Amino acid sequence: MQQPHEPSGAGGAGRVLVVDDDPTVAEVVAGYLDRAGYTVDRADDGPTALTRAAAHWPDLVVLDLMLPGMDGLEVCRRMRGHGPVPVIMLTARGDEDDRILGLEVGADDYVTKPFSPRELVLRVESVLRRTRPATTGARPLGAAGLTVDPAARRATKNGTELALTLREFDLLAFFLRHPGRAFGREDLMHQVWGWDFGDLSTVTVHVRRLRGKVEDDPARPRLIQTVWGVGYRFEPGGREEADGP
């Protein structure tokens, strides 16, 4: 298998694996990505997607949630077992529970069907832009036993490397840059995701997942605290909050 951490796009914008059992959707998405300069692989089911990824590790995966045999959630879990890879999940409109499940297993973004192919390409560009090493303001950050190296895209807790998704990494780095300051979910969505609007449950799910990786007891968070009526605050001193969502 190609090393997951090495970009696989040769001289282009990157390699994208499109996984959808609807041939029309897959063809349209692949066409738009190809014209945007991406190398595109396609798969119409979960096992084929895993085989394609093993042969040429993608820089990003556009993954339909509803697939025959093996759903997108399981495909995402198995890919993440081999190495970090950004995932944009395609979900049916109105299936909020499915979208939250996708975020819970580590999807970095989601797009609801029907969608604009141009919008999807913009989402792909946005996610991949955040995976590239930082060139400015890339000094390591640290507090409360946590360290984040933006240039290397590496985070540790007490010296042990953390397995963070793209958005979890960006969220932790943002909190470390702004200790003691409360941010609403809308603020976090704009500052971390770069979105001016969207489903705020995305932020809630990512905060919960991040707590599960950086807190000693995620059920009683000391570092990423809930500020009732506002949002969240990073407390380097680690004072325990009463209860967290």
In angstroms, rounded to a whole number, what is the distance separating the alpha carbons of residues 96 and 98? 5
CB count, 10 Å around CB of 64?
Answer: 26
Helix (H/G/I), strand (E/B), else coil: 161: strand
pLDDT for the residue numbered 96: 63
pLDDT for the residue numbered 108: 80
What CATH code is assigned to 15-131? 3.40.50.2300
In angstroms, rounded to a whole number, what is the distance separating the alpha carbons of residues 191 and 56? 32
Domain 15-131 and domain 141-234, same fold? Reply is no
CA–CA distances in Å: residue 214 to residues 17, 37, 176, 238? 30, 37, 12, 11
pLDDT for the residue numbered 7: 44
CA–CA distances in Å: residue 230 to residues 50, 204, 226? 41, 13, 8
The answer to whether residues 18 and 62 touch, using CB atoms and an 8 Å cutoff, is yes
Phi/psi of residue 73, nearest 5 degrees: -60, -45
For 181-198, the pLDDT digits (tens) are 999 999 998 888 776 666
Average pLDDT, integer, range 138-155: 87
Instruction: For the chain, count helices (H), then strands (E).
Output: 8, 12
- Give ∠ CA 171-202-125 in degrees, rounded to 5: 70
The CATH number corresponding to 141-234 among 2.20.25.90, 1.10.10.10, 1.10.10.60, 1.20.1440.20 equals 1.10.10.10
For 92-134, the pLDDT digits (tens) are 755 666 667 767 777 788 888 888 888 889 889 888 877 765 5
Please state whether the predicted TM-score (pTM) of the whole model is above 0.75.
no
Residue closest to 153 by CA, chosen among 128, 178, 186, 116? 128
Selection from 79-88, 127-136, 145-154, 213-222 with the highest mean pLDDT: 213-222
pLDDT for the residue numbered 99: 66
For 24-70, the pLDDT digits (tens) are 999 999 999 999 999 999 999 999 999 999 999 999 999 998 898 89
* Weakest-pLDDT range from 80-89, 107-116, 175-184, 236-245: 236-245
pLDDT for the residue numbered 94: 58
pLDDT for the residue numbered 11: 42
pLDDT category, 9, cuts 50, 70, 90?
Answer: very low
pLDDT for the residue numbered 153: 83
Q: Which sequence spans correspond to the domains of the chain?
A: 15-131, 141-234
In angstroms, rounded to a whole number, what is the distance separating the alpha carbons of residues 172 and 175? 5
pLDDT category, 164, cuts 50, 70, 90?
Answer: confident
CA–CA distances in Å: residue 2 to residues 25, 26, 52, 120, 229? 27, 24, 11, 26, 47
Average pLDDT, integer, range 161-186: 91
The answer to whether residues 213 and 162 touch, using CB atoms and an 8 Å cutoff, is yes
Q: What is the mean pLDDT of the chain?
A: 83
